[in-house]
Amino acid sequence: MPIERKVIAPEAIEAQREICAKIFERVAGDGQRPLAMVDTYGCQQNEADSEKIRGYLSEMGYGFTQDEFQADVIVVNTCAVREHAEMRVLGNVGALNHTKKARPGQIIAVCGCMVQQEHMAEKLKRSYPIVDLVFGPHELWRFPELLNQVMEKHKRVFATAKEEAVAEGIPLRRDGQVKAWLSIMYGCNNFCTYCIVPYVRGRERSRRPEDVVAEARALVAAGYKDITLLGQNVNSYGKDLDCGVDFADLIREINAIPGDFLIRFMTSHPRDATEKLFKTMAECEKCAHHIHLPVQSGSDRVLKRMNRHYDRAKYLEEIETARRYMPDLVITTDIIVGFPDETEEDFQATLSLCEEVRFDAMFTFIYSKRVGTPAATMPDPYTRQEKQLHFDQLTDLANRISGEKHREYEGKTLRVLVDGETGREEYNLSSRTNGGRLVHLKGDKSLIGRFVNVKITASNTWALYGEIVG
Ligand code: SAH
Ligand code: SF4
Ligand code: F3S
């Protein structure tokens, strides 16, 4: 049964854009260009949200700066996934004391996942008087209205309602011209026991396929070449809709859009990565042969306590199926070290799984306790030092495998998409292979946004180096 999902009425978004026009009159009406700074922490979902915030700010007449002393409005878009992310945010928000003193009238807003936790919103209210506006992910669609309240009423505004919805029609200001994020769904239903995301982002809500496809079409028409479909668990796309389109079907629809571009996606949850998905990836010529499939641990005991709904055998079986369809598939993963009560034996199981799969890249994290999650109350006899040792061991393994895999590319010719400049002389351009591997090369910057063939001549743990051929 499809769940009830609230959709923000198009008129409500239109009303927000009218507020933007009103703010424009006030702050930019006489030809001056006010400046804003948007500082983003966390994952691609947050990057995508920041593009909406910038979209609204653009409509209000703001230009953008990276210099907090120049900014009339500062928006800090926060992450709550690990304690370290939150500490960095709080430190940086605290430091804005100086800029606000130097620039009276500056408005400081803090939004995103961190503030959706009550204790954090409370902390900002009590201990950070320089913060004028706090709004959670569910309130983003009405950012203009909230900002306007701060401007007109000269009071602090806190908006962290829990009501979840899908909003279409928010203006977007994308950063680059080659790669684009495309959110296809919001929220997460998985409740992995360590993770804060479902609490701050709410339940899974899919955008309608026609809205996603229309946006993809517009991106291709605008010249974007690398489109990443975003969701915390893209494999469950469409389950909350009643239109019979699943994630694999969505890829097929986007693949049918005429043009030379790449389709990427993240993140896939191993619990429901299907053979249909791998088959679709193999058959759709625009779909990149890369999957980010976070395994988190190689130990069945730990996976169970993490509430991941798969075991080591099922994960390995999925990898085997995926490689059967795409022998050149690039596989990357996330791993948590030091989950409560993770024993030496559990950790060894993770190491052996990594040796077995040979991931192209691994993102490794030391477990961080998140208030309100089930794992936060699990007993844990191990010290930080013990976890750090394991973490270092795993990083060494990840680097070794990555380096070895990169060496296998040497001498091969690959098609890459040139996506930017490196700022270095010898290898001045950066590019990505179909599988997402970074390739540095030398060439004219007019190649940015173009596909070229590159012969790989050298490599290290982090990147490949090559020469343009043909
Ligand atoms: N939805 C994605 C992941 C989002 S969070 C997925 O399920 O794959 C990105 C990564 O952060 C996770 O894969 C996990 O490895 C890590 N992570 C999440 N919560 C964490 C915590 N409390 N401590 C350490 N790492 C965590
Ligand atoms: Fe967090 Fe698990 Fe959801 Fe990923 S799938 S966002 S790790 S709860
Ligand atoms: Fe962080 Fe929120 Fe993403 S907690 S990882 S920014 S969904």
How confident is the model at residue 4, as a pLDDT? Answer: 64
Say if ligand 3 is within 6 A of residue 48 CB.
no
User: Following DSSP, what letter does each residue of 61-106 receive, concatenated?
Assistant: T-EE-S-TTT-SEEEEEE--SSHHHHHHHHHHHHHHHHHHHHSTT-
Instruction: State phi, psi for 39 to the nearest 5 degrees.
Output: -110, 120
How confident is the model at residue 31, as a pLDDT? Answer: 83
How confident is the model at residue 3, as a pLDDT? Answer: 56
Packing angle of the helix pair 10-28, 44-59 (nearest 10 deg): 60
How confident is the model at residue 240, as a pLDDT? Answer: 93
Say if ligand 3 is within 6 A of residue 362 CB.
no
Query: What domains sit in the chain, N to C, each tagged with a CATH number?
Result: 10-159 (3.40.50.12160), 183-267 (3.30.750.210), 289-404 (3.30.750.200), 413-469 (2.40.50.140)
Question: Mutate which of 266, 269, 292 to test ligand 2's pocket (most atoms within 8 Å of Cβ)?
Answer: 269
Say if ligand 2 is within 6 A of residue 335 CB.
no
Count of CB atoms situated within 10 Å of the CB of 155 = 9
How confident is the model at residue 272, as a pLDDT? Answer: 87
Q: H helices of 378-455, where?
A: 384-407
How confident is the model at residue 431, as a pLDDT? Answer: 98
- Residue 257 Cα to ligand 2 midpoint, Å, equals 31
Query: Hey, is 22 helix, strand or coil?
Result: helix
* Exposure on the CB side of residue 168, measured as CA atoms within 13 A: 16
How confident is the model at residue 29, as a pLDDT? Answer: 82
How confident is the model at residue 327, as a pLDDT? Answer: 97
Say if ligand 1 is within 6 A of residue 64 CB.
no
Tokens of 212: 């996603």
Count of CB atoms situated within 10 Å of the CB of 151 = 17
Nearest CA to ligand 3 atom 3: 43
How confident is the model at residue 176, as a pLDDT? Answer: 87
pLDDT mean by block of 10 residues, the chain; 470 residues: 75 97 93 94 97 98 97 98 96 96 96 97 97 97 98 96 92 94 97 98 96 98 97 95 95 98 97 95 98 98 98 98 98 98 98 98 97 97 97 98 97 97 94 97 96 97 95
Which residues are bridge partners to 263 per DSSP?
227, 287
The amino acid occupying position 390 is H
Q: Which ligand is nearest to the CA of 368?
A: 1
How confident is the model at residue 242, as a pLDDT? Answer: 85
